[in-house]
Amino acid sequence: MAENENPIRFGILGCAEIARKVCRAIHLSPNATLVAIASRSIDKAKQFAARNKLSSGKVKLYGSYEELLDDPIVDAVYMPLPTTLHVKWGVMAAQKGKHLLLEKPTALDVNMFDEMFEACECNGVQFMDASMWYHHPRTAKMKEVMSNSELFGRVKSIHSSSSYCGTSQFLENDIRVKPDLDSLGALGDAGWYCIGAILWTMNQKLPTTVTALPTTQRNSSGVILSCSASLYWDEEQTIATFYCSFISHETMDLAVSGSNGSLHFEDFIIPYEENSAAFSFTSGAKFVDLHIGWNVKPKEVEVPTQLPQEAMMIQEFSRLVKGIRDVGVQPDTTWAQTSRTTQQVLDAVKISIDNGYKVVEM
């Protein structure tokens, strides 16, 4: 059977703003198709369908999540629900045999993550969190560069920043700052990316220690609006720091310094443009005579992409699901492990913050 025949049939559970982007990504992905939308009310589902020009003949609309999960036509679900609801609906999706593409943060803590992932394992369904940037070809290209010991060498320090400036309305009322919905606030949302980028740099190796830095800001409900932390790898003697915030100008920085090279870019989560993305790379820089100028300037490495990164994500997820559905291979747990290490470090940052910025041993 050709790779793109019998595409993976997606249902979307929840009509969050981000679902519009993934809706488009499913349309762009050659091995996926959107078959159903569920919201808590049929009216909301209808509004979403209308706004996104979904044909009612092709996309079923449901007024409850459970109805969608009971529909046998649905192979996989994308779930952009508030984090508090992830375990309930993630577990139920798995139990009903639906492959699970879950918005980040995956869970409120790693125990909840494990409950959900166990359900996926027991029911033989694929799990992936919806961090899109991993799937951009730029990401693979950077890993290639950083894996070159001559060009890059050993990773010495990493810094990442993920922030945007919420309106006062957002900071008190958005789902992402509601203690009963997304109690991890900026740490769970923006911080997920920083932690993910740092762990990606370190090939998913957990740090030895995690220590939050003394700068947590919260809204009136106590939800984190901004925080910062350091991660340390004892064996490698590598240090990483990050800053995440809902109250700072939009940043998406990743800077990695190795023994022989360094890498910088400032749009790691969402590239400036859809069809191509770049990173800056310097190797073998040295002082020149008289310490004037540099012997080499950073090289801008441009990586084009045929599909936007979110469509690449859908394509990769669907490829894995097709293997399970059509050929009977086992789910790939690599992506779940990536989510899990990110969740573990996120938990450690939160524990450190809650305990007066104490050092958390991993």
Q: How far is the CB of 361 from a copy of itself (least distance, A)?
A: 11
In this complex, which beta carbon is closest to a copy of itself, that of residue 103 or of residue 332?
103
CB of 71 to a copy of itself, least distance (A): 26
Which sign, positive or negative, has the C-alpha torsion 183, 184, 190, 196?
Answer: negative
> Would you state the torsion angle of the CA atoms of residues 128, 132, 134, 139, taken in this order, to the nearest 10 degrees?
170
Q: Which residues of 220-257 are buried (b: 16+ CB within 10 A; e: fewer)?
A: eeebbbbbbbbbbbeeeebbbbbbbbbebeebbbbbbb
Q: How far is 228 from 213, CA to CA, in rounded Å?
A: 5
Phi and psi angles of residue 323, each rounded to the nearest 5 degrees, phi first: -60, -40
Closest to a copy of itself by CB, 29 vs 228, is 228
**Which residues, listed in sequence order, are joined to residue 78 by a DSSP beta bridge?**
12, 101
* Cα distance between the two ends of the chain: 46
DSSP state of 329: P
Two structure tokens written together for 209: 């220690």
Q: Give the torsion through C-alpha atoms of 330, 335, 336, 339, to 10 deg.
A: 180
CB of 220 to a copy of itself, least distance (A): 16
Pairing mode, strands 76-79 and 99-102 = parallel
* CA proximity to 284, closest of 152, 184, 170, 159: 152
Under the rule (CB under 8 A), what is the footprint of a copy of itself? 17-18, 20-21, 24, 153, 156-157, 159, 161, 163-165, 209, 211, 213-215, 217, 226, 228, 230, 232, 237-239, 241, 243, 245, 247-251, 253, 255, 257-262, 264, 266-267, 270-274, 280, 282-283, 285-287, 290-294, 297-298, 308, 359
- Which active-site residues does the annotation give? 104
